[in-house]
Amino acid sequence: MPSSSAPPSRDGGPPNSPRLSALHGRVEALVERMRPWSWLWPPIAFAAGLGSFFLVERQQWLGALLALGMLAAWVLLLSESLIGRLLARRGYPTLPHGVTLFIAQMIHQETLFFSLPFLLATTVWSSGQALFTLLLIGLAVFSIIDPLYYRVADRFRWLYFAFHAQCVFLVVLVTLPIMLRLTTGQSLKLALAAMLLFSLPSLLHLTARQRGRRWLMVLTLLPLLAGLAWVGRIWVPPANLWLGSAALSPAFDVAARSPRGELRLTPDALADSGLYAYTAIRAPRGLREEVFHVWRHQGEVIDRISLTIEGGREAGYRAWSHKRNFPDDPAGAWRIDVMTDSGQRIGLVRFRVAEGEEASLADGRELLTGLQGRGLRRLVPGRGGDDPAERPSAGQGDTPAGVNGQVESE
């Protein structure tokens, strides 16, 4: 790349830059060759995301390598934009707008389709997370409809930059737990910060006609956007955590790390024996995270029990909480939300306390959720589903039991 002291052309125009012109020519030629095959890019990105999602458990280095490739594409996009502006200010030739927009579209498609497997697998579809994932699917469809994408990019710049900021959010949210073993909460906070930073061009274009009050409006809208994003974090799926299985039981075999017994959940039965909530949470190898069993009665929080999990166990990290003290009138709908420390829902368990047959039956059976419940794990080579013989021995990757909102040692 020529320096800023490159001699100007004889006619007083932009500085001569034969090397830069040759580089631009090669890039333009490459883009023209790729255009007819651009329809292949979204399925390739989706396959890479799917591979990274599964490989992060058994071949973490390969999953991290795929995530690094996506992150490198974003570095290329951001550096190209910055370098292009610096060259233009100094009078050097830059890539045509159509070429840079095509490259940006490819990277947006890569981001959205790479992230889809992570969010499809970790979304709790009976919650507001479904809206976030459906929005992601809509953005992915938008990115492959060329007339719509280019129209928005050319005529609605503020909307285009908002779309760009959302893609940056996904990049950080999905890749950092894989590459740096950051917790879900840490990744979410960094993703929100990155999104706010890259929302600035959108806000500047949105307030372009408000000359005198432009920065005042931006400084007002930015905290408002930050507040809305933080409040809405519960709707964001934890892209690298999901509930593999769950069970309710009146007893628990600590040595085997397994729920035991059977109980009809009537008020008297709960008062006598209490209730165990068991969950197996899937997480990438090396990830250590604090999660919570939040017990709710008729929507009201009754107990919040802290548990620490570690990733890497194929059947999921087994965690359980034991609730002994129930309200005087425990009848009604109960729900146990499995939450991250940042307020994202990993999964939930529902049951009903009532008299007679209307009461739920806590029989200790592990109900499969997530990928296990959908049977998708059987599509991964070397995984045979839920055969007990394939599970690691007791004591591998387990957490102490929580009693009445407190954690006790085993």
Confidence of residue 50 (pLDDT cuts 50, 70, 90): confident
Q: What is the pLDDT of residue 70?
A: 65
Burial of 372 (C-beta count, 10 Å sphere; 0-12/13-18/19+): buried
271 in the Ramachandran plot: left (φ > 0), alpha (ψ -120 to 50) or beta?
A: alpha
* pLDDT of 381 strictly over 50: no
Q: What is the pLDDT of residue 181?
A: 76
Q: Which residue has the higher pLDDT, 166 or 287?
A: 166
* pLDDT of 147 strictly over 90: yes
Cβ-defined contacts of 120-124 (< 8 Å, 24+): 121/53, 121/242, 121/370, 121/371, 121/376, 122/237, 122/238, 122/239, 122/240, 122/241, 122/242, 122/346, 122/370, 123/237, 124/237, 124/345, 124/346, 124/347, 124/348
Within 10 A of 3 (CB to CB), how many other CB atoms are there?
A: 7
Q: Give the C-alpha separation, 182 to 171, whole Å.
A: 14
Within 10 A of 55 (CB to CB), how many other CB atoms are there?
A: 18
Task: Indicate the helix (H) or strand (E) that contains 133.
Answer: helix 129-144
Which residues have CB under 8 Å from 218's CB, separation 6+? 200, 203, 204, 207
The angle, 0 to 180 degrees and rounded to 10, between the axes of the packed helices 97-122 and 41-58 is 40
Q: What is the pLDDT of residue 397?
A: 32
Compute the mean pLDDT over every residue in the chain, rounded to the nearest whole number.
Answer: 77
Confidence of residue 390 (pLDDT cuts 50, 70, 90): very low
Q: What is the pLDDT of residue 374?
A: 46
* Bridge partners for 252 per DSSP: 259
* pLDDT of 226 strictly over 80: yes
**Which of the residue ranges 59-68, 118-127, 228-237 would you say has the lowest mean pLDDT?**
59-68
Confidence of residue 368 (pLDDT cuts 50, 70, 90): low
Q: How many angstroms from the chain centroid is the CA of residue 370?
A: 15
Q: What is the pTM of this model?
A: 0.76
The most confident of 10-14, 20-24, 56-60, 249-253, by mean pLDDT: 249-253
Closest CA to 304 of 295, 291, 312, 314: 295
Say if strands 288-297 and 300-310 run parallel, antiparallel, or are unpaired. Answer: antiparallel
The angle, 0 to 180 degrees and rounded to 10, between the axes of the packed helices 97-122 and 18-34 is 50
* pLDDT of 379 strictly over 50: no
